[in-house]
Amino acid sequence: MPGALGAALAFLLVLIGLPSRPVSAAAGPRRALLDFRPILRNRSALAYSIAYCVHTWEMSALRGWVVTFLTFVAAQRPGAWTPLAPATVASVMGLLGVWASVWGNELSIRFGRRRFILGTMVASAALAGVIGFSAALPYAGSAALVLLYAMLIWSDSSSLTAGSAGSAAPGQRGATLAVHSTLGYAGGFLGPLVLGATLDLLGGASVLGWGVAFGHVTVALLLGALVFVWLRPADLAGDRSATAATAAAAPHRT
pLDDT tens for 141-166 read: 999 999 999 999 999 999 999 999 99
73-76-80-85 Cα dihedral, nearest 10 degrees: 30
Structural domain boundaries in the chain: 37-77+84-232
| CATH assignment of 37-77+84-232, among 3.30.1740.10, 3.90.1260.10, 1.20.1250.20, 2.60.40.420 | 1.20.1250.20
Per-residue model confidence (pLDDT) at position 25: 59
Kindly report, residue by residue over 177-225, the tens digit of the pLDDT.
999 999 999 999 999 999 999 999 998 889 999 999 999 999 999 999 9
Torsion sign, CA atoms 34, 38, 42, 47? positive
Kindly report, residue by residue over 51-91, the tens digit of the pLDDT.
999 999 999 999 999 999 999 999 988 877 778 899 999 99
Kindly report, residue by residue over 92-104, the tens digit of the pLDDT.
999 999 999 999 9
**pTM value?**
0.85
Greater confidence, 36 or 132?
132
248 — pLDDT class (breaks 50, 70, 90): low
Number of H helices, E strands in the chain: 10, 0
Distance CA 164, CA 184 (A): 12
Task: Spell out the residues 6+ positions from residue 60 whose beta carbon is closer than 8 angstroms to its own.
Answer: 187, 188, 189, 191, 192
Per-residue model confidence (pLDDT) at position 254: 43
48 — pLDDT class (breaks 50, 70, 90): very high
Cβ contact 54:220 at 8 Å: yes
